[in-house]
């Protein structure tokens, strides 16, 4: 797929920065049966994934066009089960659901939640290493193409990145995603350092400058043992997301 993304421009989020509101950029709502999800469904069929995988993908990605979009890394291993199976204690999906519900936003019907690597869970990749590195990397690039198509269709006012798997400065690289070559991957990556510094990138999506806000995965909070640090991280992530989504409440 030909890239419609230009190199991101990095800057700190200015105190006067104001997100575009729903009324200013409302483009309507898409549901899980929208034709835009056809490419993802076909991809799931080609990989012979469980039917629930594509169903859960569509249910998470549906929402209001023009609103901010959340980007996670890839589906959890439980995406083969029913939708509720992903909402277990300490899961990222449950954390986001609880956060958005406090603001009166429905995480399923209001806020589109996408995976950088659509439909490719760690479990599936580990059990398909026999495909070889070249084929695996091609599948990963195809999954990114699906994410790119959805972003172009959703036209989000803001993109919130909640993963660091493709961060080139990270000391720990993901065994499957750490070396992927794709313009979307190179543009949408976060880190704790970026989140702490509130570094914002302005990314050109289909000719429109779209703010990219770095955040981090809620698991960083769940796996923190120190109570004070856990509290600090919780407040930090909530503050980042609140600054993005409050204009839509």
- Using a 10 angstrom Cβ sphere, with 0-12 exposed, 13-18 middle and 19 or more buried, the burial of residue 194 is buried
User: Per-residue pLDDT for the chain (249 aa), expressed as one digit of tens each?
Assistant: 334 444 444 444 443 344 444 444 456 899 999 999 999 999 999 999 999 999 999 999 999 999 999 999 999 998 999 999 999 888 999 999 999 999 999 999 999 999 999 999 999 999 998 999 899 999 999 999 999 999 999 999 999 999 877 666 554 567 788 778 888 887 888 889 999 998 888 887 777 889 999 999 999 998 999 999 999 999 999 999 999 999 988
Residue 85 phi/psi, 5-degree rounding, is -65, -20
Helix axes 38-46, 133-154, angle to 10 degrees: 160
Q: Write the DSSP assignment of 223-243 as a string of letters.
A: T---HHHHHHHHHHHHHHHHH
Domain parsing of the chain, residue ranges: 9-248
According to DSSP H, which parts of 121-226 are helical?
122-126, 133-154, 183-187, 192-197, 219-222
What is the CATH topology of the domain spanning 9-248? Uracil-DNA Glycosylase, subunit E (3.40.470)
Round to whole Å and give the CA distance between 61 and 69: 9
* Count of helix runs (H) and strand runs (E) in the chain: 10, 8
Strands 208-214 and 199-205: antiparallel
Q: What is the pTM of this model?
A: 0.86
């Amino acid at each position: 797929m030909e890239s419609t993304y230009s190199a991101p421009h990095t800057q700190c989020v200015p105190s006067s920065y104001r997100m575009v509101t729903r009324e200013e950029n409302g483009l309507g709502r898409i549901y899980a049966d929208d034709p835009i999800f056809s490419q993802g469904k076909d991809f799931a069929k080609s990989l012979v994934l469980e039917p629930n995988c594509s169903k859960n993908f569509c249910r998470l990605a549906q929402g209001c066009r023009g609103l901010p979009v959340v980007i996670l890394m890839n589906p959890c291993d439980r995406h083969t089960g029913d939708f509720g199976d992903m909402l277990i204690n300490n899961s990222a999906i449950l954390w986001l659901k609880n956060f958005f519900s406090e603001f009166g936003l429905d995480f399923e019907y209001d806020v589109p939640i996408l995976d950088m690597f659509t439909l490719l869970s760690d479990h599936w990749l580990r059990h398909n290493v026999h495909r070889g590195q070249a084929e695996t990397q091609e599948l990963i690039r195809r999954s990114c193409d699906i994410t790119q198509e959805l972003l172009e269709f959703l036209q989000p006012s803001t993109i919130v990145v909640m993963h660091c798997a493709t961060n080139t400065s990270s000391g720990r690289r993901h065994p499957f995603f750490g070396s992927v070559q794709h313009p979307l991957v190179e543009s949408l990556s976060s880190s704790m350092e970026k989140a702490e510094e509130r570094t914002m990138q302005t990314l050109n999506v289909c000719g429109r400058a779209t703010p990219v806000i770095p955040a981090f995965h809620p698991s960083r909070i769940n796996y923190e043992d120190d109570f004070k640090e856990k509290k600090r991280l919780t407040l930090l992530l909530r503050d980042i997301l609140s600054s993005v989504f409050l204009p839509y409440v």
